[in-house]
Structure formats: C-alpha cells, structure tokens
Amino acid sequence: MLRAPATATLPELVLRPWRDDDADALVTVYRDPVLRRWTRAPVTTTTAARQFVAAAHRDWADGCRFSFAVVEPGPAGETLVAQVVLKNVAEDRDDAEVGYWTAAPARGRGIAPHALRAVTGWAFARFAALRRLDLMHQIDNPASCRVAEKAGYRFQEVLPARPPFPRDGHRHSRRP
C-alpha cells in the first residue's frame, strides 16, 4: 500500500491493490462515457469487474504489472477516485510503462498527477534496474498531456497509430 500525503490543495490518497469488494465501485466509475472513450476494455458488469480484479491479483503475483486502486479515505469509508498501473516491468529491465484513469468526480482536482507521482517514486525505488518510465496516450487527449507534465513526465515524441489505437499518440517519459 502506498500513500500520497495530503497537501494544501490535494487530499490524502491511498494506493492499494484492487480488492474483491471494489467490483461495484469499478462498475459505477466505468459508467462515465469519457472514461469509456479512452479505455480499451471498459468494465460494464459486475462479472467483468470481478474478472478485472482477479486479473489484477494474478498480475501482482506474477510481478510484471502492478495495478493500484486509488482511493480517497473519508468518514464514510473509501471513495474510488482513480487507477494507476505500472506495466511491462521486470527486475532486469531498464524501462516500463505507467497508465492511469481518473473517475469523473475526481477530475480537475490534481488526483491523477498526485497518484502518478506516488507510483513513479515507488517504481524507481522498487526496481533497481529501472531507468525510464513512459506514459503514452492518444494525441487527441490534451488532459493526459497535462497530467503527464504535472507528474514530471516530459513529452518525447509522437507515436504513429497502431492497433488497437486508431489515432497517433504521445510518449512522455520520466527518469529517476
């Protein structure tokens, strides 16, 4: 479990592996058409949410992909606000990729860059060989450019469209 501490303008966030009881919150978050637009595999049913969580558990066990549920603690419990994922990572590899999404009610509050910075720091501390993290997004998603920049990921290049991505993309990178 990681914590992104509260700041003057940002809440405390808890970044933790997905749990079985996150399924209903996951389905609710994916009802957002904006999130579904940018996601290759939207989670639309409880069964799909359970499969998503089970896959996240397998990925953690395999040690090649680490998907964090980002929650905001509160008096009534946790609220799911985002996901950050570290993928294509290995003990002897010098590069990996990060990705994220933000729940609609959490957008515009600085949650995504806050959580992304926490996972980035964890990744560089956890994997000694890691020298570069890439964040990629479609070219027509300027909000992802802003998140990347706020999290310290610098624009590197335009990537040509390739299946399953129908449009060109941006690659942003960060080093330790």
pLDDT tens figures, 36-94: 888 878 899 999 999 999 999 999 999 999 999 999 998 989 999 999 999 999 989 99
What residue numbers bound the domain in which 23 lies?
2-174
Q: Contact at 8 Å (CB) between 86 and 123?
A: yes
pLDDT value of position 25: 97
Tokens linked to 36: 């579904």
pTM of the model: 0.93
DSSP 90-136: -TT-SEEEEEEEE-GGGTTTTHHHHHHHHHHHHHHHH-TT--EEEEE
Question: Which residues does 169 contact at the CB level (< 8 Å), separation at least 6?
Answer: 136, 137, 138, 139, 158, 159, 161
Domains: count for the chain:
1
For 114-130, how does the pLDDT look when each residue is reduced to its tens digit (9 = 90+)? 999 999 999 999 999 99
CATH number at residue 166: 3.40.630.30
